[in-house]
Structure 1
Amino acid sequence: MKNIYLYIISGIFILLMLACKEDLPEMEKLPILNPVSTDAEAVNWQTVLDLDYHNLISIDPAAEANTPAYQNELSELVTITNARTAEQARKAEYWSAGAVLRWNEIAQELVSKYNVAPRVGQATDPQKPFAHPPFAARAYALLSVAQQDALINTWIYKYEFNRQAPASYAQDIDLLFEISDLPSYPSEHAVVAKVSQEVLSYLFPLEKEYLEELAEEHIESRKWAGVNTQSDNLAGIKVGEVIAGQVINYAKSDRMSEANDPEDRHLIYFDIANQISVPWKCIETPLRKPMVPFYSIVKTWHDSTEVYNTTPPPPPAIGSNEFNEDIKFVRNICDNRTREQWRIADFWADGGGTSTPPGHWNRIAKGLISNESLSEVRAARIFSVMNRAMMDAGILSWWSKYKYYLPRPSQIDEKITIATGIPNFPSYVSGHSTFSASAGTVLSHFFPGERENLKQMYEEAGISRVYGGIHYNFDNLAGREAGIEIGEIAIKEALPNNLN
């Protein structure tokens, strides 16, 4: 348990707002990635989007080592590495900790920056998205799907052309660090930089220039380190552009644009007046519209029937013995909250200005992946499986929230004191618990040695909302059960793809 908490605590300082790209390498010190395996079998892994990428991508075959064109590239690399500055070395080392990890951090930084509710009554501005938990879950999923599909295709090209690292052909290249025997063409770093830049620019339009600068620095850093030539990078850029375009096309049709409900149509759709005796209501002043009531109509990544089959049963009826016992339990916690309960509620709060609960689990995954020194393609695959599970868990949770429209505990008992902000959506089931259980279940599959630690963590994340006074315990338990089931759906999909 202590090891994972160290990963999280070290990651908390990642999410500082950045004024310029030069500050980025200070976000967190990570070791240079020297993967334990190149995962050559990834050429057989399935992509998420069922597309014939090879008919969409067109890159030239890698030039032979003895051709004048490639010899000129090698000479350029010798010149660049022998003139490398200390600042270039610093940046190259930063990016070499892992392309997937670094762009995941950047996504978290942007979610934190945009996780600010707009002013009440202000029209939705697509240029300045509100990066609330459902938005964030979708952003992390789109990014990791793009990275995974791009890298699987990159591995196919790498082993098709089988061009070795530049230093294999030119001993005068001053390598900055030891490299693996992974073929160099196309550059996996250029692929990740380009595909991440494009997807994140789609999600955060005002950050386009900032992201272009980061991608350019990332790609150039491979030449500063002496590990990729210009043609390696250009081929990678081409792969990244094509995959990003396809993922963005998917995003444009996933129905997220219909999730908001400025006209309160959800009240009729869910028949709220006849569903519950004491319906949930917004307690903010001035009143704010509920958060994305129709998030449940967004496309799921996994079979929608399987996902919706995990819908929890109705919560205990308000006023029933079971309900009264649970709210008494919450009230007792709030009247006698211990320092440890305060700490847990605060640690898992993940409210405004943070990378959200899905971001919290991306930090946990990042620590585990970095600790295991996993290849870029395997890292992307793990993030993809986890983030798609979390997005589907969020969709299911939001379906349950607006289907049952259960009020928060403090709406029923005004003497309940809270230890964190009250989210602007109904109570049942707990989004925190559902997100966390799905992520923890997926990560337990990939990191079985951490299974018990991860279980403790997702259980703690769920109960933290009860400690905070904003959820009933039955919200937590039902959300946990649904999250575990969705995590298992995601694992079942991953198993045929040789990712055990």
Structure 2
Amino acid sequence: MQNQMKSKKYIKSLLFAIGILSISCEKDIPTYLSYEEYEFSTVDENGGNWKPILIENGSALIIKSPDNVDSDTYKNEVSKLKEAITSIQPNQQKAINYWTNNPLVRWNEITLELIAKYNLIPGPNEDGSYTLPNANNPEGPPAFPFAHPPYASRALAYLSVAQYDGLISAWHYKYLFNRAAPYRYDNSIVHAYPENNIPSYPSDGAVIARVSKKILSAMFPLEVAYLQELEDEHLQSLLLSGSYVESDISAGTTIGDKISELALTRAATDGMKKAQTTKAVSDSIKAAAFERFGWQWENLEIPVRPVGLTPLFGKVTPWNIENIASVRPVAPPKFDSAEFLEDVAILKNHANNMTSEKRRISNFWQDGTGTYTPPGHWNRFANEFIVEYHMNPLRSARTMAYLNMAMMDAGISCWDTKYYYHYPRPIQMIEGFKTIAGTPNFPSYTSGHSVFSATGAEVLAYIFPEKATLVRGWAEEAAISRVYGGLHWTFDAKIGTEQGKKIAQLAIDKAKLDGSD
């Protein structure tokens, strides 16, 4: 309870600080973080030696040596840069201020907004049937993608891992070639951001811009033109900030292209294409659970969709889990057990004694359709901490990579558990029972909110140990919110929290060996 009180106070101040005017139970749209460029707390000179996720052979990312600063070619680049800076327009200055010297946060926020935009349940056709979003026909109807929590966790993971590997590569070449920023060679160049000693070739910002545009274009194909506009604006702002010459930026986009190819090659074969199944396959999964345990979840949505949400997401390739069955929790309680009957009484008590505080907690963590989902919620907190601790782009990328790999794995493990046990929700088992937040289109055990939140909290507690008590309190609150809302049993939340902690530890163990500490 003490953790929940601290959590409540911090969340209120957080919302005020970033300008959120109101939060409803239906929608919690992300807004841009109000922060300016800042001086980095570290520059991580050895960052090029950190262990990447996707890169297996460094030769695949070779870029050419930069021109010497005494060469005519470089001097011409500097002259063009100075000329461009003298004619900066108001909209260009606004872009420079917006992207800041840590644009990784901005691209993450853009991703959260796209997730919220596409997190819409496809509606039924006139005859009552459903057409699923199709990547081969993204315009639909319905539009592709449906950015539900598993999809969101996957999009964030591929984006963050590609950004991280791209910046490790950039840091390697920065300190190999050691070409300083142009403003250090010519003090007449107006530099928009705080000075640092990080070499400029290749541009880390350009790596981020190219990787982000390419990964997000694959994940949200209807936004290709919009994302291209963002990349163009970002790349121009890098030049006009006085931080880079054109060849710095070109080298950065070259790295971004190569890293994006590695990430998207993995994504093409990770099994996500088969996660949403046909009704026949869905029914066979349901029948298998009934044969094992004597129970099965029934969808009580109105209108009812014939197939649950991504029944085979549990078979998508994880990042850190070697055997998905090894992290699958024990079976939930049988219906005639004392544990189950006690839980029925607990949920009835919550429903009959609903308070404004319980409703507030349920609504805050709802993260339903039209929002950036539970994984997005934890990315938003991570963005706050990155800015608070003045992380440089490389260390920011590391934070997001381990956070989002872990949360994608959390989703995979949770969905494997959900469809293996196919456990009914309270609304199916308690006569006359009603929720205060709808009913999700997938089985109950374990709670996705609990697994995602415990995972996110543990990874952030590792990276930001000063925040450990705070984030773990948030995870507790996120878990109990689903019980208050009537969507989950208490054991869904309890076991889901334990499950999330185990998944997080796998990512943390990997992070401890990457050479960054």
TM-score range, shorter chain: over 0.9
Rounded Cα–Cα distance in structure 1 between residues aligned with 2:363 and 2:60: 47
Paired residues for 1:66-465 under 5 Å: 66-96=70-100, 98-120=102-124, 121-126=130-135, 127=138, 128-269=144-285, 271-288=288-305, 289-305=307-323, 307-465=324-482
Percent of counterpart pairs with the same letter?
38
Q: Secondary structure at 1:242's aligned position in 2?
A: helix
C-alpha spacing 1:248/1:60, structure 2 compared with 1 (3 Å) = same
Q: Name stretches of at least 5 consecutive residues in structure 2 with no aligned partner.
A: 1-5, 24-29, 125-129, 139-143
C-alpha spacing 1:10/1:426, structure 2 compared with 1 (3 Å) = farther
CA contact (8 A) 1:389 1:486 kept: yes
Range 262-271 or range 200-209, more displaced: 262-271
Quote the offset at 1:318 in angstroms: 1.3
Quote the offset at 1:10 in angstroms: 4.8
C-alpha spacing 1:361/1:55, structure 2 compared with 1 (3 Å) = same
CA contact (8 A) 1:33 1:373 kept: yes
CA contact (8 A) 1:40 1:155 kept: yes
Query: What are the Cα deviations for residues 347-401 of structure 1, in whole angstroms up to 9, with x where unaligned?
Result: 0000001000000000011101110000101110111101111111111111111
Query: What are the Cα deviations for residues 423-470 of structure 1, in whole angstroms up to 9, with x where unaligned?
Result: 100000000000000110010001111111111000100000001110
Q: TM-score, normalised by structure 2?
A: 0.91
Quote the offset at 1:9 in angstroms: 5.7
Rounded Cα–Cα distance in structure 1 between residues aligned with 2:208 and 2:247: 16
Q: Secondary structure at 1:309's aligned position in 2?
A: helix
Rounded Cα–Cα distance in structure 2 between residues aligned with 1:163 and 1:154: 12
CA contact (8 A) 1:267 1:273 kept: no
CA contact (8 A) 2:285 2:419 kept: no
Rounded Cα–Cα distance in structure 2 between residues aligned with 1:5 and 1:103: 25
C-alpha spacing 1:496/1:199, structure 2 compared with 1 (3 Å) = same
Quote the offset at 1:15 in angstroms: 13
Paired residues for 1:479-498 under 5 Å: 479-498=496-515
Q: Name stretches of at least 5 consecutive residues in structure 1 with no aligned partner.
A: 17-24
C-alpha spacing 1:379/1:348, structure 2 compared with 1 (3 Å) = same
Count of paired positions: 490
C-alpha spacing 1:15/1:90, structure 2 compared with 1 (3 Å) = farther
Rounded Cα–Cα distance in structure 1 between residues aligned with 2:233 and 2:371: 26
Amino acid at match of 1:51: E
CA contact (8 A) 2:285 2:420 kept: no
Q: Secondary structure at 1:49's aligned position in 2?
A: coil
Q: TM-score, normalised by structure 1?
A: 0.94
Rounded Cα–Cα distance in structure 1 between residues aligned with 2:171 and 2:11: 30
Aligned: 1:27 with 2:6: no
Quote the offset at 1:202 in angstroms: 0.5
Match of 2:141 in 1: none
Amino acid at match of 1:286: P
Quote the offset at 1:278 in angstroms: 3.9
C-alpha spacing 1:148/1:485, structure 2 compared with 1 (3 Å) = same
Amino acid at match of 2:155: A
Q: Secondary structure at 1:265's aligned position in 2?
A: helix
C-alpha spacing 1:101/1:456, structure 2 compared with 1 (3 Å) = same
Match of 1:62 in 2: 66
CA contact (8 A) 2:51 2:515 kept: no
Rounded Cα–Cα distance in structure 2 between residues aligned with 1:49 and 1:10: 36
Query: What are the Cα deviations for residues 47-82 of structure 1, in whole angstroms up to 9, with x where unaligned?
Result: 111421x32224221111111111111111211222
Quote the offset at 1:40 in angstroms: 1.1
Rounded Cα–Cα distance in structure 2 between residues aligned with 1:157 and 1:284: 54
CA contact (8 A) 1:4 1:364 kept: no
Range 62-71 or range 307-316, more displaced: 307-316
CA contact (8 A) 2:150 2:408 kept: yes
Q: Secondary structure at 2:244's aligned position in 1?
A: coil
Q: Secondary structure at 2:159's aligned position in 1?
A: helix
Quote the offset at 1:12 in angstroms: 7.9
